[in-house]
């Protein structure tokens, strides 16, 4: 048996960072930037007002107070998106809206609240300033967010909504990113029926295709669904063929020692394959290897293949541990691990055969401390236990178990709102 780390190391050795491509900014969420982004403009392009108020010469406000306002002549109004037609000269003011460029001659903006604006009826040609304004007050400087010519985002940055917004503020429609991997999924089993079919006696719906496709999407890949193969070599080979242009292939089922576990025979013929028993639970049987395929450009190459166990929980847990890091590596990401926290476990778990146990738990924070409670029966066919869980408590292989009250490590699958 090999350890989880050994298995992951071997898998990651077989996957490389993919090529980059030019892509519309909104399609790039979660992808890694493959260029340094410089700004060809100042953001904001011009000095502009941070408030609704009056653009003035600060000198004119000296000595102003509520008791003794300074009165200025209002010569224009300027709103966001337009340029004032006249210049602010001593004794004058321009009514200005947030975001509007500062008119020539003005060096500060007095907000409405510090004027007698509300006491005036209708539009007035005069405004009373009720306090002193320093030069620069309520002015956002040109380039204060982004200076023309500066580097704004660096190669390697992961694009989040804020980065997408910054790209838009530069007027960029597309950007170079490392492309998303296509991951083909093949499920196997005579008992499986696709979800758009009636369910005959003795059959079950194929859930793995959908849970795994959702995981692939969640972590940034593009799922390619190859459908359900029967437990026969011909059926597996026929379906497999349609996935040979993918960046990675995952199969579920057919890798244990059962009579109908043909996936391993097919894969042994189609490429190179290793069967591992990984010291973990769930998910002991795992197949890994490469399959001869062709790239989208028609070039022969080996596609990494991961044969996950068929049990619905095992396939999801092994995906999180082995497929997710491979997808992230292909996307050019550096941090490949899920966040792990310390929590107090609220149930006892026995580790009878000294494998690393990943038990489904619901983690909650109470009085500043994390607690982890088992979600109920832990059978690897009980997929609803995954819907109740937000983490996997890790019981190390060298421990006989944990008892309620022990401090444990929990790999977080999701952060729920606390
Ligand atoms: P296997 O690894 O093929 O022996 O399958 C182990 C268990 O998982 C069996 O009970 C299968 O019926 C079940 N199983 C396998 N593939 C799927 C699937 N795609 N969806 C739901 N259950 C599955
Ligand atoms: Mg099977």
The answer to whether residue 12 is domain-embedded is yes
Residue at 418 is within a domain: no
Instruction: Tell me: do 163 and 250 sit in the same domain.
Output: no
Which of 312, 330, 348 is the last residue in one of the domains? 330
The strand pair at 48-49 and 70-78 is best described as: unpaired
CATH number at residue 319: 3.40.980.10
Whether residue 315 sits in one domain with residue 243 = yes
In a domain, 282, yes or no: yes
Q: Is 380 in the pocket of ligand 1 (CB under 6 A)?
A: no
Ligand 1 pocket mutation, candidates 185, 252, 262, criterion most atoms within 8 A of CB: 252
Alpha-carbon torsion 333, 216, 321, 266, what sign?
negative
pTM to 2 decimal places: 0.92
Provide the number of structural domains found in the chain. Answer: 4
CATH number assigned to the domain comprising residue 120:
2.170.190.11
Q: Which atom of ligand 1 is nearest to the CA of 255?
A: 2
Task: Please tell me whether residues 71 and 134 are part of one structural domain.
Answer: yes
Closest C-alpha residue for ligand 1 atom 17: 310
Element containing residue 185 per DSSP (H, E): strand 182-188
Q: Which ligand 1 atom sits nearest the alpha carbon of residue 381?
A: 8
Full residue range of the structural domain in which residue 283 is found:
4-19+180-330
Residue 270 in tokens: 């189609």
Classify residue 55: in a domain, yes or no: yes
223 lines ligand 1 (CB under 6 A): no
202 and 171, same structural domain? no
149 backbone φψ class: left, alpha, beta (φ>0; ψ -120 to 50): left
Q: Do residue 63 and residue 160 come from a single domain?
A: no
276 inside domain: yes
Here the CATH number for the domain that contains residue 365 is 2.40.340.10
Separation of CA 224 and ligand 1 centre (Å): 19
Asked if residue 326 and residue 184 are part of one domain, the reply reads yes
- Same structural domain, 304 and 201: yes
Tell me, yes or no, whether 92 and 38 share the same domain. no
Asked if 111 and 60 sit in the same domain, the reply is: yes
* Domain-embedded: residue 367: yes
Q: What is the CATH number of the domain that holds 168?
A: 3.90.105.10
Residue 204 CA, ligand 2 centroid: distance in Å: 12
Question: Do 69 and 150 fall into the same domain?
Answer: no
- Do 37 and 89 lie in one domain? The reply is no
Residues 297, 167: Cα–Cα separation, whole Å? 31
Q: 226 with 302, same domain?
A: yes
pLDDT by 10s per residue, the chain, length 418: 899 999 999 999 999 999 999 999 999 999 999 999 999 999 999 999 999 999 999 999 999 999 999 999 999 999 999 999 999 999 999 999 999 999 999 999 999 999 999 888 777 899 999 999 999 999 999 999 999 999 999 999 999 999 999 999 999 999 999 999 999 999 999 999 999 999 999 999 999 999 999 999 999 999 999 999 999 989 998 998 899 999 999 999 987 766 556 777 777 787 777 777 899 999 888 888 888 888 778 888 889 999 999 999 999 999 999 999 999 999 999 999 999 999 999 999 999 989 999 999 999 999 999 999 999 898 999 999 999 999 999 999 999 999 999 999 999 999 765 4
Q: Is residue 335 a part of any domain in this protein? A: no
In a domain, 417, yes or no: no
């Amino acid at each position: 048996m090999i350890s989880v780390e050994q298995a992951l190391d071997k898998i990651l050795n077989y996957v490389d960072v993919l090529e980059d491509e030019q892509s519309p900014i909104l399609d790039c969420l979660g992808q890694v930037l493959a260029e340094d982004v410089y700004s060809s403009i100042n953001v904001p392009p011009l000095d502009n007002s941070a408030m609704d108020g009056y653009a003035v010469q600060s000198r004119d406000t000296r000595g102003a107070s509520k008791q003794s306002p300074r009165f200025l002549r209002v010569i224009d109004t300027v709103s966001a998106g337009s340029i004032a037609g006249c210049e602010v000269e001593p004794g004058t003011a321009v009514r200005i809206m947030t975001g509007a460029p500062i008119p020539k001659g003005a060096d500060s903006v007095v907000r409405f609240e510090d004027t007698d604006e509300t006491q005036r009826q209708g539009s007035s040609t005069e405004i009373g300033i009720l306090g002193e304004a320093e030069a620069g007050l309520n002015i956002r400087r040109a380039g204060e967010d982004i200076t023309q010519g500066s580097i704004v985002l660096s190669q390697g940055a992961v694009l989040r909504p804020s980065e997408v917004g910054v790209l838009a503020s530069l007027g960029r429609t597309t950007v170079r990113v490392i492309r998303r991997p296509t991951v083909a999924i093949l499920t196997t089993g005579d008992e499986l029926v696709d979800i758009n079919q009636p369910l005959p006696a003795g059959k079950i719906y194929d859930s793995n295709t959908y849970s795994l496709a959702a995981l692939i999407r969640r972590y940034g890949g593009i799922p390619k669904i190859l459908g359900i193969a029967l437990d026969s070599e011909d059926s597996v080979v026929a379906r497999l063929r349609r996935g040979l242009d993918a960046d990675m292939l995952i199969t579920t089922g057919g890798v244990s020692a059962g009579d109908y576990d043909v996936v391993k025979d097919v894969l042994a013929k189609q490429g190179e394959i290793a069967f591992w028993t990984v010291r973990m639970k769930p998910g002991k049987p795992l197949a890994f290897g490469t399959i001869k395929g062709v790239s989208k450009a028609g070039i022969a190459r080996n596609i990494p293949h991961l044969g996950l166990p068929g049990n619905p929980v095992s396939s999801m847990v092994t995906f999180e541990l082995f497929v997710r890091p491979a997808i992230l590596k292909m996307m050019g990401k550096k941090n490949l691990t899920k966040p792990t926290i310390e929590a107090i476990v609220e149930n006892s778990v026995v580790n009878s055969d000294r494998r690393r146990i990943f038990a489904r738990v619901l983690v909650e924070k109470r009085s500043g401390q994390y607690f982890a409670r088992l979600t109920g029966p832990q059978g690897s066919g009980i997929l609803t236990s995954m819907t109740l869980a937000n983490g996997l408590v890790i019981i190390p292989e060298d421990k006989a178990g944990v008892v309620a009250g022990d401090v444990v490590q929990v790999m977080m699958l999701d952060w729920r709102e606390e």
